[in-house]
Homo-oligomer: A and B are copies of this chain.
Amino acid sequence: MSGNTFGKLFTVTTFGESHGAALGCIIDGCPPGLELSEADMQADLDRRKPGTSRHTTQRREADEVRILSGVFEGKTTGTPIGLIIENTDQRSKDYSKISEQFRPAHADYTYAHKYGIRDYRGGGRSSARETAMRVAAGAVARKFLQERLGIRIRGYLSELGPVRAEKLDWDQVHQNPFFCPDVDKVPEMEAYMDALRKEGDSIGARINVVAEGVPPGLGEPIFDRLDADLAHALMSINAVKGVEIGAGFGCIAQKGTEHRDEMTPEGFLSNHAGGVLGGISSGQPILASIALKPTSSLRLPGRSIDVHGNPVEVITTGRHDPCVGIRATPIAEAMMAIVLMDHYLRHRGQNADVAVETPVIGQL
């Protein structure tokens, strides 16, 4: 496969280029009987949508999703759910320059080497616009997990360049354009972003995602560990360069007595493992954290080469996010939802009739 499908039982296959006719996706394997309408996806799509504050790109993308199949009389039927978002804001513009140059830190050069041909309009397939379909598909998974299992998946921006959130107040996350859970840091983030925009530069970010209410037993022991599949899913998001589960890189300096999450009949005493032991969920919250690189589309000139190998100076005009991390929270949540959904179906495929006598201990 060419890697446009994610999941084994709950599978999401996307298509579409940034400036093509439409983006689309097929969700296969969704259990029947789930109430579903476009509105269930639109809320998450709107959180990802550009142009909601001055800190994101001012492109206008309606991002209105339409269900083409798999839903009948308001419920999923178990057959594939076809989704489409028509592209409406492709400004007709002059692509002659971009077609001849490789922008540094973009996929231009690597696509050219892979395929010998590339759709250079707006980054083509490599544009983060593709993630709109992931958010739509993730909304289906999220709804199922919430309604049937009581699983809650939430994310937030914990670092924006040098500014770090120090408090986790979930109520604040949707009160500011950064998805920042620490209200005290929002002014600092705003000031930082305003200065950055003037400068013409961009910055990286860190997003944390948490799933609560995940039952113990999800995941597979070897290659498809729950954390390995999460790493796969999260690293597949544009601009992500690092993934941590639980203590993550912090565990390099931890001793075993500190790291091991001791257990009592009342629950685990800590959660350095991030809710995954031996690749399988423990019933504790699943904790993942990702690093996103700074946007590569800058109006500050950078050295590069053209398609013939000659040196050029590249300036990216147009409307771009100075921090792609800001809009990435719903995408990370979506990918976590898809992974959990897939593993839930995989688990019950193999183990639906297992009688588990082990008591579930409380979460931290």
Contacts and interface: CB of A to CB of B under 8 A. Distances in A.
Nearest to A70: B15
B2 A124 contact: no
B113 A356 contact: yes
A36 interface: no
Given A3-B223, A244-B241, A32 B115 contact: yes
Nearest to A313: B262
A2 B28 contact: yes
A107 to B, nearest CB: 2
Interface in A240-267: 241-265
Interface string A326-364: 000000000000000000011111111111111111000
B3 A225 contact: yes
Contacts of A303: 262-264, 269
A205 interface: yes
A81 interface: yes
Contacts of A159: 252-253
A16 B21 CA distance: 19
A26 B4 contact: yes
Contacts of A81: 15
A150 interface: no
Nearest to A80: B15
Contacts of A66: 21
